[in-house]
Amino acid sequence: MQKRKLGNSGLEVSALSLGAMGYGKSRDIPDRTEMIAVLRGAVDRGMTFFDTAEVYGPWTNEEMIAEAFRRMRDKVIIATKFGWDIDQKTGEHRGGVNSRPEQIRSAVEGSLKRLGTDYIDLYYQHRVDPDVPMEDVAGVVKDLIGQGKVRFFGLSEAGSASIRRAHAVQPVTALQSEYSLWTREPETEILATLEELGIGMVPFSPLGKGFLTGKIDATTKFSDTDMRGKIPRFEADAREGNQRLVDMLRRIGEQHQASPAQVALAWLLAQKPWIVPLFGTRKLERFEENIGALAVHLPADNLAELNQSKTTMPVEGARYPDEHMRRVGL
């Protein structure tokens, strides 16, 4: 698989990353065996970069990552995250954020133990904590790097000011934020900030939480446990309006024998050489489809049309409910 470097940090990873958020987020993981097979199958197909977080479960996701990659730690680059208010003794998610220094120090020990490793490759602050100075957060992670417990520092959904404040204390390797053909906000300021500072980007939901695959339309029904049922962008009227973006992806894909998902990923890969899209899938066949995007090379006219879609077919509906949007871009 192709490799990319995340900014100026020197951290080289596979050009696409697999996110395990959808695996084992509850205490009961009925398809644990199948999910471990997907993770190991990804390694067999050349992927090196994998993403988890202590809050997924909490804790069960990291434990499953450890089981999947036992005896192959040297083949994988593992990113995990801190920053939610989780009781470090019980695993209770108390709601809200918590990046106090003592919480970070406790969280990293827990993640190391659950992951069965003595170092974390990339350690993200999951969301900015407005009550803790960013300099303090970066300072703790700098200490952890000095101790060899963490290799690289990352932020998630942070705004430009927070990125700059953190980077001044401990160089930031990557920002993980939502970016795709239907979430173009990073183009306003974030991408320029990252390029200036030499920071890579790991866009999550590069396929619009599944919408850009073309497998969701206005008639799709979501289960009570599917978070998309609570997102304004996935309301039936919004999905109907946003279908034109998928129609464009399908049309361009037909020119290149590519699926809509492959075109969406190829567009994102073409934006910057330091962008490494992070997708999630529970099926190896979907994994293989997605990594097929690396072989799709869109010509200038296709890229221009896709770039212009931001104005020619603006996306309808917010990407999160209001309470979640309040934690974005701090």
For position 24, what pLDDT does the model report?
59
| Banded pLDDT at 322 (limits 50, 70, 90) | confident
Q: Active-site residue numbers?
A: 56
For position 27, what pLDDT does the model report?
53
Q: Is the pLDDT of residue 26 over 70?
A: no
Tens digit of pLDDT for each residue in 260-278?
999 999 999 999 999 999 9
| CA distances from residue 53 to 93, 110, 311 in whole angstroms, order as listed | 13, 11, 35
| Banded pLDDT at 28 (limits 50, 70, 90) | low
In the structure encoding, which two tokens stand for residue 14, read together?
């596979």
Identify the sign of the CA torsion 14, 19, 24, 25.
positive
Domain ranges within the chain, ordered by starting residue: 3-210+261-296
Amino acid at the residue 165:
R
Q: Is the pLDDT of residue 121 over 80?
A: yes
In the structure encoding, which two tokens stand for residue 84, read together?
């939610």
Q: What percent of the chain has pLDDT over 70?
A: 98
| Banded pLDDT at 108 (limits 50, 70, 90) | very high
For position 225, what pLDDT does the model report?
81
Q: Which residue has the higher pLDDT, 21 or 252?
A: 252
CATH superfamily of 3-210+261-296: NADP-dependent oxidoreductase domain (3.20.20.100)
Over residues 55-64, mean pLDDT:
92
The full DSSP string for 227-282 is GGGG-GGGSHHHHHHHHHHHHHHHHHHHHTT--HHHHHHHHHHHH-TTB--EE--S
Q: Is the pLDDT of residue 31 over 90?
A: no
Half-sphere exposure of 156 (CA within 13 A, CB side): 22
